[in-house]
Amino acid sequence: MDKKKVEQEVILQYRQHEVNIEDVTNRVKAHYIAKGNSEDSIEDVQIYVKPEEFTAYYVINDSFCGKVNLF
């Protein structure tokens, strides 16, 4: 029996702001690529969301670190 795919969306709300976490993930990948890296080189991504700093910090492939604005 095939499992039904469930659509999901995660929204972070902080004060008067909100952001879709998938959008944050896409921004992280775009930032990584803009720094001269290939999308194909991405093996794993960790994103650390700090709403009080309006920032998402990330680590890609256990070595490349960066940050993007949340809102």
pTM, full prediction: 0.85
Contact 49, 70 (CB under 8 A): yes
In angstroms, what is the C-alpha Rg of the chain? 14
Termini Cα distance of the chain: 41
Can you give the length of the chain in residues? 71
**pLDDT tens per residue across all 71 residues of the chain:** 678 889 999 999 999 999 999 999 999 999 999 999 999 999 999 999 999 999 999 999 999 999 999 99
Q: What whole-number distance in Å separates Cα of residue 55 and Cα of residue 24?
A: 10
Contact, 65 vs 59, CB < 8 A? yes
